[in-house]
Chains A and B, each alone.
Chain A
Amino acid sequence: MNTLVWLAEHFIGMFQQGGEVFTSLVTGIVPLLIVLLTGVNALVAFIGTERIEGLGRWAARDGLIFYPIRYLIFPILSVFFLTNPMCYTMARFLPEKYKPAFYDAAVSYVHPPLGIFPHVNPGELFVWLGIATGIETLGLSVVPLAVRYLLIGMVVIFIRGVVTERITAVMWARETAKATPALA
């Protein structure tokens, strides 16, 4: 009998602990999230997503100076205004050879802004929040971490865009060579 009670106590205890965690998440984060999401959603609606489409046509151009536009500014604005997963539709303004690299840059930016702009990917919030909760438990502010995550994310997506564009170009050339055997 005692064993049974012991078992039942610990069974319930486990979920009580879970419930406490849930309460702290809901009361600690959800109110801020709701207000923040409302604010950003309204901002995006006021500005209008069609404005970044012009940027897409600009980002499509060849040349070294267009790299930061194509793999930094364009993906960041696409993610901010269209959010995951609609941001990837912006690749339609780019030539085929840049599409994989743009996708790589855009998809890599759906997590770094989560600490400050959770609206970009609310369904995957815990990529950020899981680790941030640990920082909070230590009694530290998560904002410095959020800002650095957002900034390093920018550097990383730019590198990803450039590297993936190179790899795509090499693979494309190899594929074309295979398709049209040398006329020797």
Chain B
Amino acid sequence: MKSFITNLGRNVGHVVGILYQAGRESIDQVIKNILPFMAFIALVIGIILYTGIGDWIANLIAPLAGSLVGMLIISVICGLPFLSPLLGPGAVIAQVVGTLLGSTLIASGSIPARYALPALFAINPQVGCDFIPVGLALGEAEPETVEIGVPAVLLSRMITGPIAVVLAYVASFGLYPGN
């Protein structure tokens, strides 16, 4: 009986410890990663909305983001092997372009809401292209693997970037009917 109570106490302590640690981690993530980027995005959106640059940008990118061909062009450009490693770091480009698209074209309804799905892939064929050597090193890859792996992934993105956009475009039928 005594050992049962001891065990119970220990297990409850263990569970509570994990939950508390999880809470601590999530607060850490919010303060360190999420809030700083929100501040940055809020500044960008604030300027865009207040100055009306948003309408100007929207007019400029509407022909690109408003059709399948346009989104394919965006994905091909972002996936170019000499551009993709430059566009990759911190996904800042994808995040800013996504916010621009979301807060202007999609929010105003100037492009159909369902285009949000292919757009998510069109702005992001460069994901992780800046990080290939480090990512492979984390997987304990040999130097020769890194030497071949970097161009292999970059080349692959030229093919799979546009494929992703087409797939997402097809999958977006029936999403948000009437908008």
Count residues of chain B with CB under 8 A from any CB of chain A: 85
Within 8 A of A (CB), among B138-158: 138-142, 144-145, 147-153, 155-157
CB distance from A69 to the nearest CB of B (A): 16
**Residues in A whose Cβ lies below 8 Å from that of B147:** 175
A97 and B18 CA atoms in complex are apart in Å by 38
Number of A-B contacts (CB under 8 A): 275
Within 8 A of B (CB), among A65-120: 85-86, 88-92, 94, 96-97, 99-104, 106-108, 110-112, 119
Report the nearest B residue to A108, measured CB to CB. Answer: B127
Q: Is A55 an interface residue (CB 8 A)?
A: no
Q: B149, A168: Cβ atoms under 8 Å?
A: yes
A79 and B20 CA atoms in complex are apart in Å by 23
Main SS class of interface, B: helix
A26 and B134 CA atoms in complex are apart in Å by 33
Q: B148, A152: Cβ atoms under 8 Å?
A: no
**Residues in B whose Cβ lies below 8 Å from that of A172:** 148
Q: Which 10 A-B pairs have the closest CB atoms?
A: A18-B46, A91-B139, A134-B106, A107-B128, A100-B149, A134-B102, A130-B98, A130-B99, A37-B26, A22-B42
Residues of B at the A interface (CB closer than 8 Å) are: 18-19, 21-23, 25-27, 29-30, 33-35, 37-39, 41-43, 45-47, 49-51, 90-91, 94-107, 109, 113, 116-117, 119-121, 123-124, 127-128, 131-132, 134-136, 138-142, 144-145, 147-153, 155-157, 159-160, 163-164, 167-168, 171-172, 175-176, 179
